[in-house]
Amino acid sequence: MSWSKLKQQLESFLSPALNGRVEYRAPGYRYLPDKSGICYILVDKKNVLHMSDKTNSIRWYQTELEIKNDPDIQVPISSDEIEAVRKGTKGTVPEDRLIVMARSRKSTEHAKELLSAQVSLSKSNFTVVANKFLTTPIEESLESNDILLNVLALVDKRVGKKRIINMSEKIKLKHPIVQYFYELRRNTL
């Protein structure tokens, strides 16, 4: 599918409140065929989805430790996860330390997921992901670990007000760019 048709289809799915605020751009490199997958998403004429842009306000992580030390990321833990740590330590650890251990384990898993999603985003071809978005159900795109699928789904008009509001806890565990688009969409409700 040509870029102009793909862009037209993506823009037809944009939430009416974001129409004109969110734009998809793909610079064409006539003599560099390997550059054809590069795309930018602009919000209010600012490029927000560009990993190598140092002036970007979105945080792109370089290491797992950066993610674990980021105060903006709150990793909720359940009683089942605390119980799993308790069983692993055979009950010899104080309760407050069990919570710390469970949170540490979960934040390590979360950091690895975020880094792998970020790496796959940097290697992804936007047109391939956009075509996948257009052919899969919106629920799959929202639940996916792919950052770009999440972003495209969050600005989609098929995601209603109730679903956006109910997603607040899940979004806390997503990459900052997904959180940014979630807040953008939530503020337009």
Q: What is the tens place of the pLDDT at every residue in 67-114?
A: 888 887 778 888 999 899 989 888 788 988 998 899 888 888 888 888
Three-class secondary structure assignment of the chain: CCHHHHHHHHHHCECHHHECCEEEECCCCCCCHHHCCCCEEEECCEECCCCCCCCCCCCCCCCHHHHHHCCCCCCCCCHHHHHHHHHHCCCCCCHHHHHHHHHHHHHHHHHHHHHHHHHHHHHCCHHHHHHHHHHCCHHHHHHCCCHHHHHHHHCECCCCHHHHHHCHHHHCCCCHHHHHHHHHHHCCC
pLDDT of amino acid 68: 83
pLDDT of amino acid 36: 47
- Positions in the chain whose pLDDT score sits under 50: 36
pLDDT of amino acid 2: 80
Boundaries of every domain in the chain: 3-55+116-186, 64-114
